[in-house]
Structure 1
Amino acid sequence: MGNIADKVKAKADPTSGPKKELLRLENLDVDIPPDALVESITAEAAANDDDNSYLPFLGQIELRNAVAEHVSLIANGAVQYEGETNCVISAGGLSGILNALLATVEEGDGVLLTAPAYAGLLNRVHLAGGVPRLMPFQFNPGQSWTLDQDELRRVVENQDNHITTMLLMSPCMPTGAYLSHEDWALISELCVKYDILVVYDAAMERLLFDGRPVIHPASFPGMAERTITVGSASKELRMIGWRVGWIVGPEQLLKDIGLVSMANVVVPVGIAQRAAKQALQNSRTTMSEYVHELQLRRDLCMRELEGLPIGRPDGGWSLLLRVDTLGWRADAAAEALLEAGACVTPMTGWGTDEEAQFIRIVFSNEPRERLEGLGEIVRQALLTKAAAP
């Protein structure tokens, strides 16, 4: 049982024998703690009977109001959401994604995702009865990933794909690919023309590098009524263990999503919600320092791996290294790197055979002083040893 990250962690954490100081680059964690106030608010909530309750089923109204205000601001005021009618709290972001898909996707509906795609998103499309339709980003070694707009149009306009929903993320996971204003303009044009719903995974939307602006799909003409935003405290607020997420969208869609949410998880984590509310509100002023540190780590990794076939992430927590061009399978490359001192995740089984050409390197969970020397480890493991047949 367990997925690839579980298995890599088990190898990195032996139960017996000497332990090696390994670079932990395999799991989407972060070593930067949440705001200091989060701990005290959570501790207070743990002793408060009102927070230790099944009620309210859809989330505490104070958090729902704060989330609705936050998403309205991110969408540049193009739509004004209200907590009572436009927001449901979920037990983490992926729970919110699944609830939104279960409420809106019918059996056999085509759901468009960009690729390489996070396996957890693909799995939830399948659980909802949808059929993933992958639209690959273009891999440009050493440069940013780019969206082939002509191919996107062809995928959507191919009636055999039966696209009813787009499940989109920017920056994407695990590539760090960014959807530009021109990309979103085309997406919006196609969604309005063909009445396609966008489920927007906003888990990392503010973790952008090099001054890139946050672009919210609901801010485009005709998109407010066909955009569902799913956010999370995990990545942006660094509150992974609190398991707090949210779903924001048009009232008529949120009614069904609310019913699915109650049937699925019953209630989000009560003792975590007040801390998430405060951290979300504080993030308007604290986010820039955090993003700056992530960008410094990204830049360091790019320097360490210069000349190797890596995709440059424009945001997020991770990057991909293409190993087939170095003569390796992803699983074998991951084993070789583990022996050399770095845990990474092979992209085997993450969607298509093409994705299996990559390994994922997470740079959010190690400080810069530990990331120094990453290039030497990778080159020692993958360039000086013979690749497995």
Structure 2
Amino acid sequence: MSGPEGGARTRPGRLSGIPGFDIDGVARAAEGDPDILRLENLDTDLRPPAAAVAATRAALESPAANSYLPFTGRADLRAAAARHVGRLAGQPYNPDRECVITAGGTEGLLNALLATVDPGDEVILTDPTYAGMLQRVRLAGAVPRLAPWVFDSAGGWRLDLDALTDCVAPRTRALFIMNPSMPSGGVLDADDWAAVAELCHHHDLWLIYNAAMERILYDGRPHLHPASLPGMRERTLTVGSVSKEYRMIGWRTGWVVGPAAALADVAKVGIYNVVTGVGIGQPGALAALTAADEADDVAASVGRWELRRDAVLEALSDYPVQPAGGGWSLLVDTRPLGLPARELSKRLLASARVAATPMDAWGGPDAEYQLRLVFSNEPVARLRTLGDRFARAL
């Protein structure tokens, strides 16, 4: 291995198999043309809660918001986040011992992994799944195992529970699940969660639950929280944030809630990772979580996103689009079109002014043929033009 003056060093092993992130490249190519449909990135044009914006403005003049302390997050925000998760899970949580504030949910995901798995341990994820989850498993030195979502044109996405069970091995340490799943929008039902809980109990596994979009559900699907199942409170680390349900992406404020012993380690990792949450973001997050109309605010946004999903499905009814049961995105299966997703992405941008990201790094071999369409950032009227745009590209 050559030294700093002799050329490049050997890459660290933890980076083996970790590709770059394509979204930035697609976004850069789409900049500056207002006609381009921006379907490449998980943004939304729906405004954050007014109370959150007002609280953030006030925080700019607050010395307390311009401080590292407290390292685990403001006490009032920890209390609000613990109540929020507790209400959805039907479980009480102690905000001082069972909640840590993080710089966005994504910091919480890595902190939770580092607090629960060792290098060489195996972590089970769904396929496809958010690349930020899949690659964080590798950054933690663990080995990802993938259980596929299967698409049935009659019933939509379903998790292959037999494959999920087959993924468990002697070194399996955790299940790492987002619900609704991203990018597919697949949603676990009660039977799925029961199977997850059974695996956790039988094999003594952690469940790291990415709850960033847990209430963004369509077609009347019920909200289900895995920590509500018998014996799962002590096995579940819930990672949430204000980014999606409250449309507060730029605040970079999230939380991890779970059993005290694990949260002590999550807090330790957090201090040596990012140190503390975003000071000026926390007052706005507190305002969003504690607003009197919090549930109505989230439900109103979900209703608007559902209309946008429906507009995409209607516009692309002649194409192999796979409906989402929740979340901000859905997938197009490009195999029936006779080309990989990366090629369709290029054609859509060049010929039809549609920015969409191929999912190569978001799962197993099938990911090469999955193109993600994010419908949360464009109005219905523009989404209705997708059919004509696809026809031009193809």
Tell me the CA shift for residue 309 of structure 1: 1.4
1:176 and 1:40 map into 2 onto residues whose CA distance is 32
State yes or no: 1:202 paired with 2:220: no
1:55 and 1:240 map into 2 onto residues whose CA distance is 22
Aligned to 2:26: 8
Aligned to 1:73: 87
Aligned to 1:305: 316
Tell me the CA shift for residue 270 of structure 1: 0.6
Mapping 1:51-130, distance limit 5 Å? 51-75=65-89, 77=90, 79-130=91-142
Does the 8 A contact of 2:127 with 2:362 survive in 1? Answer: no
Instruction: After superposition, give the CA deviation of every residue in 1:231-258 in whole Å (9 maximum; x if it has no partner).
Output: 0110111100000010000001000110
Where do 5+ consecutive residues of structure 1 fail to align?
A: 383-389
2:123 and 2:165 map into 1 onto residues whose CA distance is 14
Tell me the CA shift for residue 211 of structure 1: 1.4
Number of matched pairs: 373
1:233 and 1:356 map into 2 onto residues whose CA distance is 31
TM-score by length of 1: 0.93
Q: CA RMSD in A?
A: 1.4
Tell me the CA shift for residue 20 of structure 1: 5.5
1:294 and 1:137 map into 2 onto residues whose CA distance is 22
Mapping 1:350-361, distance limit 5 Å? 350-361=362-373
Aligned to 1:262: 271
Counterpart among 197, 218, 221 of residue 227 in structure 2 = 218
2:173 and 2:57 map into 1 onto residues whose CA distance is 43
State yes or no: 1:365 paired with 2:383: no
Which secondary structure state, in structure 2, belongs to the residue aligned with residue 231 of structure 1?
Answer: strand
State yes or no: 1:291 paired with 2:302: yes
Where do 5+ consecutive residues of structure 2 fail to align?
A: 1-18
Counterpart among 170, 184, 194 of residue 179 in structure 2 = 170
Q: Which amino acid aligns with 1:244?
A: T
Q: Which amino acid aligns with 1:269?
A: V
Aligned to 1:46: 60
Does the 8 A contact of 1:142 with 1:312 survive in 2? Answer: no
Does the 8 A contact of 1:8 with 1:344 survive in 2? Answer: yes
Aligned to 1:385: none
1:377 and 1:285 map into 2 onto residues whose CA distance is 35
Tell me the CA shift for residue 141 of structure 1: 3.9
1:153 and 1:350 map into 2 onto residues whose CA distance is 21
Does the 8 A contact of 1:88 with 1:247 survive in 2? Answer: yes
Identity %: 47
1:305 and 1:58 map into 2 onto residues whose CA distance is 46
2:264 and 2:175 map into 1 onto residues whose CA distance is 20
Q: Residues 181 and 212 (structure 1 numbering): CA distance in 2 closer, same or farther, change over 3 Å? A: same
Aligned to 1:314: 325
Tell me the CA shift for residue 23 of structure 1: 0.4
TM-score by length of 2: 0.92
Tell me the CA shift for residue 188 of structure 1: 0.4
1:240 and 1:363 map into 2 onto residues whose CA distance is 16
Which secondary structure state, in structure 2, belongs to the residue aligned with residue 84 of structure 1?
Answer: coil
Aligned to 2:340: 329
Q: Which amino acid aligns with 1:3?
A: F
1:337 and 1:141 map into 2 onto residues whose CA distance is 24
Aligned to 2:195: 186
Q: Which amino acid aligns with 1:295?
A: E
Q: Which amino acid aligns with 1:360?
A: R
Mapping 1:340-359, distance limit 5 Å? 340-359=352-371
1:59 and 1:20 map into 2 onto residues whose CA distance is 39
1:246 and 1:45 map into 2 onto residues whose CA distance is 19
